[in-house]
Structures are given as C-alpha cells and as structure tokens.
Structure 1
Amino acid sequence: KWLEKNNELKQDKNTLKKILLDLEKLVLRDAEVKVFDEIFKLIYAKLYDEWNGINNPEYQLEFFAGDRSPEQVKSAITILLEGAKRSWAGVFDSTDKIELIDTHLKVCVSFLEKIKLLNSNLRVIDEAFKYLIPEEYKKKEGQFFTPRPIQDMVVKMLNPKAREFVIDPDCGSAGFLLHSVKWVAGGVITGKGLPIAAKNFTQNNIYGIDFTKEAVKIAKAVNIIVGDGKSRIFGGGAHGDSLNPLLWNDEIKAALRPRLLRFPKSPEKDR
C-alpha cells in the first residue's frame, strides 16, 4: 500500500527512463561497472520485492535506503537478488552479484525505491528498457528495434485471440509479444492491471526466445511486470540461433513442444 500511494510513476512525478539516465550520470558512469548489468540486478531485486509484497500480506518491503547504513542496504538488496535468481532462473548466472560499492548502491536504491514496476504502464517501461541496451552491442549484433507503429500493424493483421498462442523465436525486448497482450487487453495497458482474459493470455499463452542475454533480461523483466511474476521468455540455443528450432536447448524444447505439435492428439506423428 505504501508503494502504491507513493509511486512516482503513477503520479507523473518522474519517468523510469529519466531515473535511469540520472543514475548513469550521477553514479554509474564513474563506478567502473557495466551499467546495464548493475541496473538490471537492481530491477530484478525490486521486482522480487514487489512480487513478495503482492503475494504475502505480511511481507514488509525491503527495497529502500531510508536511514539504513550502506552495508545494511547492500545486505538487503543482495538477499532480494538471490531470491530473484531462484524465482526466475536463466536471467543471471549463479555467481552474479552486486558489483557496486555500498555507498553507490544506497544512492541507486534511493532513486528507485518510490517507483512501482509490477503492473506499470508498459509504454514507460518499454522506452526505459530499450534505452539500456548497450549501443556497442546493438552495432556488434546488428540489432534494431522494430518501430512501434509496425508492431501495431503486424499484430492487428494477426488479430490474436485470448485463447490462442503467440510465439516469437527472435523476440528481442518482447515488443511483438507485448503488443499482442495490448491487443487482447483491448488496445491499452495501464498501471491498473490487465483484464482477466488478457492476464491469463500473458501468463500462459505468449512465448519468446532470443539469443542475446541483454534482450532476454529485458523481455523477461517486462513479461514479469505484465504477468504478475510469471514469464515464458527463454534464452537462445547453445549455438546462438534462436530462429532454428533444431538448435534450441532442452529447456526451450520442453516448454514449446506442446505448442508446436501439428497433431496434438497424435504426437507420435510429429516425430
């Protein structure tokens, strides 16, 4: 309730993109860390904190700086990150940890503590997360983001229904998947949560695959934000070709096999 009441995104006092830009300018640029990696550790720690708050009425939020010492903040955020790693496997390596020094971390947490991510306005989240993809990686991988009007047009042509499945084997930051959710939700996604049909569609019927670790982190985070903690976004196969199902890893094959059967009542015909 406290976070809902003080949410700066909902009150239009701030935007996530501006907060991240300020963090990079004031703290992260000179912190000798990879900006993308450290911000997403904090994003996932915060998502885990909010998710616990929603699912456990007795839970007290831990993602805040307040009058705690930098060491106390570091301890709390580390615990949250470890919980996020367990809950949403495949986003981080088991050895990943907060690399920021304690004083820098406390400043970062103070910037993020009064924003609510779960069920936030997706346009705001989408714009902020796209900004985070490192420019050098975009150039190296030849990445680009499909313009929003084109995503809207393609989804409108496909006209996905709540009972249908949408699979994007090269999902990037999950733009097409989220526009599919938006379509099923009636054309808009606000911070008030999804209609039941659209929520079920988000949690159970959309799948995304990508070989870029940064894109997967973004896509999974956005999917978690929309789906109240659930995500069906997967990292690409061992050979880095998410478009080729023959190269998908076992996790992807197991998750998508029921969705890709041409003869669901006679699966032996698909072998």
Structure 2
Amino acid sequence: MKTLNTLPMFAAPVTIGTTSVPDGKVSDFLTGKLFKDTPEEYVRQNVEKALVRGYRYAASDCEPEFAIKVGSSRRRIDIVVFRPQSEHRQENAWILVETKKRGTNPGNKTEGVEQLKSYMAACLNAQYGMWTNGDEQIFYAKRIAEHGFRIEEIVEIPAAGQSEADAQRPKRKDLKPATADNLLFAFRRCHNYIAGTEGKQKAEAFWELLKLIFCKIEDERSKVLDFYATATERTSATSAVAAKKRIQRVFTEKVVKKYPTIFSGADRDIDLKPTVVAYVATQLQGFSLLASPVDVKGVAYEEIVGSNLRGDRGEFFTPRNACRMAVAMLKPQPDERLIDPACGTGGFLITAMNAALDYIEADERAEWADPTDGTDSERQQLWARRNDYLSRCVHGADLNPSLVRAAKMNMVMNNDGSGGLFQANTLANPYSWDPQAAASIQLGSFDVVVTNPPFGANILIEDEEILRQYDLAAMWDRTDGVWKIRLGPNGEPVLQKSQPPEILFIERCVQLLKPGTGRMAMVIPNGILNNPALGYVRHWMMINTQILTVVDMARELFQPKNDTQTSMVLLRRLSDDERQRASDGALDYPIFMAVTRSIGHDKRGNVLYRRTETGDDVVVERIDTVAEIDPKTGNEVLRQVKTAERLVDDELPDVAQEYLNWLEGRL
C-alpha cells in the first residue's frame, strides 16, 4: 500500500503585508481611498492603471473625483491628470477622463461625451479628454479657434513627455505595455466593431481581427512602424484606403511570408473595409503587444477566442490560475521537451513555455552588466537561447483545426513557438498523423506533458483502430482484489465498445513521457478517481506511474460553462524496473493531496476576493517587475512597480507553494 500524505483544506488566507477594505468597497489605485465597488468603478480603476503604467503619468499628478466649477455649479470629474508637479487646481488640469459602466451610450445627453466636453470647456487650460465605458474609448483635443476654441476627436492622447503628433503616429519607443483589462477592452472594441460594421458572423470577425493582431506584432519587430492610422484616415473613407494599403503590405510581406501554414489561399488578404482597418489600427497602435504581460494578453485573447471557437467536443479552456498552479509544481526547465497533446488555444502550453523562458531570461540577465537593460550583443544571446528553446522543445496538437490555428496565433502573441503545433488526432495511431507531426511528436520523447483533454459522455471513442492501442480500452476483470485485462480466445485483449477520451488520454500522455523521468499534469474528472467501476483505471495508473499530486479542484473551476468536478493530477512515468516493483506491490511512496474550496470566482464567473474575519476585503501590497519600452533607446527594459490590489480568493497559488515546501522537506 502507498502512504498518503493528506494536507488540510486551504481556507485561511495569507495576510502578511496586507491591509483590509470593507465589503462593497474598492481601494483606489491612485490614492488608496475607498470607493464603492461598482461596474463604473471597475472601468475607472483600469484607466487609472493605464495612465500610470502605460502613459507613464506620475500618480501624484493624477486625482480621482476632482471637483471643478461648471458655471454656477460644482461637478466631479472621474480622473484629472494635472500638469507635472503642479498644484491640483482647476486651472492646472491637463487631461480630463470620464469613465462609465459598460453599456453606457456615448451619445447619452447626461452621461455621454457631451458631459466630458462641458468639463473641458470649464477647465480653460485642459487640452485633452478621454471618455470610455470600457467597450468604447473616445479621445478629444481642444483647439484654438477664431472665437475661442473647438473640441475635436483625435486618435490618442499623448503619454507623459510625448507630443500629440507622436501619439497619433507612435514610434517604437512610444509603445506602452497593456495593463489590467485594458487590452481586453481594446480587443472587445475591435471585435464588436468588425462584426457590427462589416456584417460578418462573430467567427469571421474574429479571424479578421487576428490577421490585424498578427500585423501589429510583426510591425513591432520593425524599427519604423507601419501599423497605425491617423485621425484623418480613421474618419475619411478616402484617406482610410492608404491605411489599409500600408497595413496590407505588412500582412503580405511579413506575416504571410513568416506564417504560410497559418495564412494561405483567401486568407492572404485582409477582408475588411479600409475604414474598419483604420479603426482597429487606432485602437491597437499605442500598445506594445510583445512587451505586455503574458496573463494580460492571455485573458484578452482567450475571452475573444472562447466566445467564438468554443466547440461541442468537451472543449473548455483551462483557467489561467489552474495552469499556473500545475506549471509551478512541475517546474519545466529550458532543456526539457514540452507538449500539450490536446492544446486547444494553447493556454496551458503557453504558461509552461513561459515558465521555462523565465528561467532562460533570469539566467541570461544575471550575466548582464545592467540586468534591467542589456547591450545589443547580450540581447542577441538571450534571443538566441529563447529561439533555440522554442524551436526544439515546445510542441502541441489538437484535433480541431480552428483551435490549432488559434493556438498558433496565441503562441506568436506570447513569445512564439508556433512551429511545433500540429493538427492531429493524438489518440489515433501515430502512423496516421501527418509525417511532420509524427516526426516531431514521438512517443517516449517528452520530459513534460501539460494538458486538459476534452471530456464528456457525448464524445465517446468507438474506432477499434484507436482503441486497440490502449490497455485502458480493454475490458478488465477483478479477481481476488486484483485487476487484470480480459483476454479473448486468441490471447488478445477484449476491447470495450467505446471509451471516453479522457481515459485514453491518460495512457497516451504517459506513453509520450520519457520512462523514469517524464512527468505530467492533467485535469481529469473526479469520477476517474472515485467511481468503483473505474477501479481498473486507477490500478493502471498505480502500476505505470508515480502519483505525485492529487488536487481536488473547487467545483466552480469551469463554471459557468461546465459543471464537471475535476482534479489536477501530477504523475511521473515509471521506468521498466519501477513498473515491475509496482506490479509486485513493492513500490511505496507518499502522495501530496489537497482540497481547494475557492479558485477565484463563483459559479457565475464573478471574481471573488479574500476577506478578513470581520468581512473586509484583503488588500495586498506587492512589487511587480514590468517590461516597458525605453523612450530613449526603444529597447524593452524592466521596471519595478509597487501595487496595492484586492487579493483574489484563489487558493491555487497556496497549493503550489505548499507542494514545493513539502517536496523540499522530503529531499
């Protein structure tokens, strides 16, 4: 019998270095003051983070809820950016921002853009304004006119120290990493605009948006940027033709040539009106997608993907926090081959890939004279190591060709590595795969497998050619407490008529691993672990793998899309000698086990925050290392930013840390 090391349920939050916020309140990003937690406040907090982290305005030069005099009355502006280091007075207001809850119409008489314009008129020295409800974002500038001034719409407000001209056509050094949910807002705006203006189906709009995202990414690698549209190009159908022609050239000469397997045939052209291309360009041109945090891009991308490509074959994308937990426990290394054989849009694979890339980057930067900003030769060495890892070690496959295509695009947006992704039925015999996939994905050759395979009773595998490959597709009998495969008259295993894919994926993933050292993390339905009729599956796992970890995931993990209760299981493939010892009952080891009650959201998908014993929200202060573009050199540099945010009630990071502590104590 194996010895189980059972840990208690994770319930108590870690509150070291934290403060608390009363229920229903939110701590303001700029000032720390408490405001009512509302949909409008959610939008405002995202804009505040963008102003400081993206536009690089000093937090001390910004103020929320600033009161101004409008005629004979007093009004409060959601956010005011003042001239640098000036006193916070109405005459020093420089940029005015009005934030509204999602769904607010910009044409609304009291809540729309006219409200912002009246505030700009009242603040005589204010030069710029922003109105946003998250899904829509409109910028304005005040112009001198013959009889006073006029207020006109512009593409973008300038960042700190930036001219308006540069904001309208940014240089590489002007690009800013996305923060919080601002990239999600931008992607959503673009997708909705394409679908609404072009009359395309949601999926068609999605693919056209991805073409433009690819153009944006490839353009960022150039010294001179061509992915932009001026205010005139956005508002004039005639001028917009030049913008589309310029961006189409980027797509043809850079994107299609670099990714011919993703874009072929009719997909070699951007099938959007020039005015639509110009609009999307203005929404994305100020961001640096390459320098934006992986999770910021992942959340934005996967929400758009999920609303368009989620299929009916049990495809439910793994939440990022579950991916991070499993990867933190597996600790994939830069020299290890990695695969997700049911990769979907690539979220699990990207999380694991970036963990290994983080090791590479930290190792290289430690050798730099200035770890925050390397020389050209130092950066070239870093990119050489990264590219070597991505080209040799990162692999993925999925049955759904649309998801493979989306995954390749996701990989490109998150450090590339898309060359190792293939469309294939990984449960089928490898001889039936495309030759390139078969050559790249060989059984027994991988160090790490991470996957969340499709599961469900409506997608049973019935093909005998597929079933014949697996012990777990056979009939099993239990005699005297021992499970054995049922054999037919000719000594061959008797096959079941069908088998759910998640059971077969367990065996296929183990087959992919190197014997003795390969390890894997897999999401499986809890029925596999506790259904008496599936005891043979557990027996097979016990004699073929070392069960490292079983984490019972809170039921809400895949809700509201799917109600299946699941566990995250970590396994190591046994060597032949270990398999024999396991079959003899002589292999004994402890197993780390945990039960999670909270995974950061409720059954409706709403974010949950940790609370103190008195019911207040917990706010944690942390120092984040963020990447940004140096305005002088145009290079990506690292900067430390102090943040104070509500602590999401997510026990998965705690589980990962406890596992690592437990593992360290055993070594």
TM-score grouping bracket, smaller chain normalisation: 0.7 to 0.9
Partner in structure 2 of residue 37 of structure 1: 207
* Residue segments in structure 1 that go unaligned for 5+ positions in a row: 54-58, 264-271
Partner in structure 2 of residue 173 of structure 1: 345
Question: Contact conserved, 1:165 with 1:205, CA < 8 A, in 2?
Answer: yes
Partner in structure 2 of residue 64 of structure 1: 228
Question: Contact conserved, 1:118 with 1:224, CA < 8 A, in 2?
Answer: no
Partner in structure 1 of residue 423 of structure 2: 236
Partner in structure 2 of residue 159 of structure 1: 331
Partner in structure 2 of residue 47 of structure 1: 217
CA pair 158-246 structure 1, distance change in 2 beyond 3 A: farther
- Report which stretch shifted further, 109-118 or 199-208: 199-208
Structure number with higher relative contact order (C-alpha < 8 Å, ≥ 6 residues apart): 1
Partner in structure 2 of residue 88 of structure 1: 259
Deviations 1:172-197 (A, max 9, x none): 122222222343315x99xx999946
Deviations 1:61-96 (A, max 9, x none): 211112552111121222222231220122122221
CA pair 259-226 structure 1, distance change in 2 beyond 3 A: farther
Two-structure CA RMSD over aligned residues (Å): 3.4
- Equivalent of residue 278 in structure 2, options 94, 106, 119: 106
The reply to whether residue 215 of structure 1 matches residue 434 of structure 2 is no
Partner in structure 2 of residue 201 of structure 1: 389
Deviations 1:37-71 (A, max 9, x none): 111110112222223x1xxxxx4221111255211
Question: Contact conserved, 2:340 with 2:348, CA < 8 A, in 1?
Answer: yes
Deviations 1:133-154 (A, max 9, x none): 2546424333111122332233
CA pair 165-230 structure 1, distance change in 2 beyond 3 A: closer
Partner in structure 2 of residue 56 of structure 1: none
Displacement of 1:104: 1.5
Aligned-residue identity in percent: 23
Question: Contact conserved, 1:9 with 1:16, CA < 8 A, in 2?
Answer: no
For residue 42 of structure 1, what is the amino acid of its counterpart? L
Q: C-alpha separation between the residues in 1 aligned to 2:444 and 2:172?
A: 37
- Equivalent of residue 79 in structure 1, options 222, 227, 249: 249
Partner in structure 2 of residue 15 of structure 1: 182
Give the TM-score, by structure 1 length. Answer: 0.77
- Equivalent of residue 123 in structure 1, options 295, 298, 305: 295
Structure 2 counterpart SS, 1:150: helix
Deviations 1:204-245 (A, max 9, x none): 311112233442233223322343x553342313xxx24433
CA pair 9-243 structure 1, distance change in 2 beyond 3 A: farther
For residue 313 of structure 2, what is the amino acid of its counterpart? E
Q: C-alpha separation between the residues in 2 aligned to 1:159 and 1:19?
A: 33
For residue 75 of structure 1, what is the amino acid of its counterpart? K
Structure 2 counterpart SS, 1:208: strand
Q: C-alpha separation between the residues in 2 aligned to 1:102 and 1:154?
A: 44
Q: C-alpha separation between the residues in 2 aligned to 1:248 and 1:6?
A: 46
Question: Contact conserved, 1:62 with 1:76, CA < 8 A, in 2?
Answer: yes
For residue 303 of structure 2, what is the amino acid of its counterpart? Y
CA pair 202-249 structure 1, distance change in 2 beyond 3 A: same
- Equivalent of residue 183 in structure 1, options 355, 358, 368: 355
The reply to whether residue 252 of structure 1 matches residue 419 of structure 2 is no
Flag the structure with higher helix content: 1
Partner in structure 2 of residue 141 of structure 1: 313
Displacement of 1:130: 0.6
Displacement of 1:252: 1.6
Q: C-alpha separation between the residues in 1 aligned to 2:412 and 2:311?
A: 27
CA pair 218-171 structure 1, distance change in 2 beyond 3 A: same
Question: Contact conserved, 1:216 with 1:233, CA < 8 A, in 2?
Answer: no
- Equivalent of residue 192 in structure 2, options 25, 35, 40: 25
The reply to whether residue 225 of structure 1 matches residue 404 of structure 2 is no
Displacement of 1:14: 6.9
> If you compute each CA radius of gyration, which structure gives the higher value, 1 or 2?
2
For residue 9 of structure 1, what is the amino acid of its counterpart? P
For residue 61 of structure 1, what is the amino acid of its counterpart? L
Question: Contact conserved, 1:210 with 1:242, CA < 8 A, in 2?
Answer: yes
